[in-house]
Amino acid sequence: MIIKLGRPSRLGLSLALMFCTGCSRAPSFEILGSFFPAWLVCLALGFVFTAVAHSALSSARVVLAVPILTYPSLAALFTFALWLSFFR
């Protein structure tokens, strides 16, 4: 069964355009004259804080049971916390 569709109406097109609009401006930081998206800055800082946490845990001689899950989870936690602190 083939359904033949007609021309889209003006109301349908205007509703589609209304729902396709985005934010007025994407959150970004200016670093050395270049704009970087905020999520990228938060991710980089999350990795830095995870490396600091790794250094602190290593110097305290804490043995982690599953480090392959712990460090990505710490990176995600730090990134999300930074994102919330910047854009609250």
In a domain, 18, yes or no: no
Is residue 65 included in any domain, yes or no? yes
Which candidate, 61, 81, 78, 82, places its Cα nearest to that of 70? 78
Across 48-73, average pLDDT: 93
5 has a pLDDT exceeding 80: no
Range of the domain at 79: 37-88
Q: How far apart are CA 8 and CA 32, in angstroms?
A: 47
Q: Is residue 24 part of a domain?
A: no
Average pLDDT over residues 18-32: 69
Within-domain flag for 5: no
- Whether the predicted pLDDT of 84 surpasses 80: yes
Please give the mean pLDDT across all residues of the chain.
82
| Predicted local distance difference test score (pLDDT) of residue 56 | 95
Total structural domains within the chain: 1
At 76 the three-state DSSP class reads: helix
22 within some domain? no
Q: pTM to 2 decimals?
A: 0.63
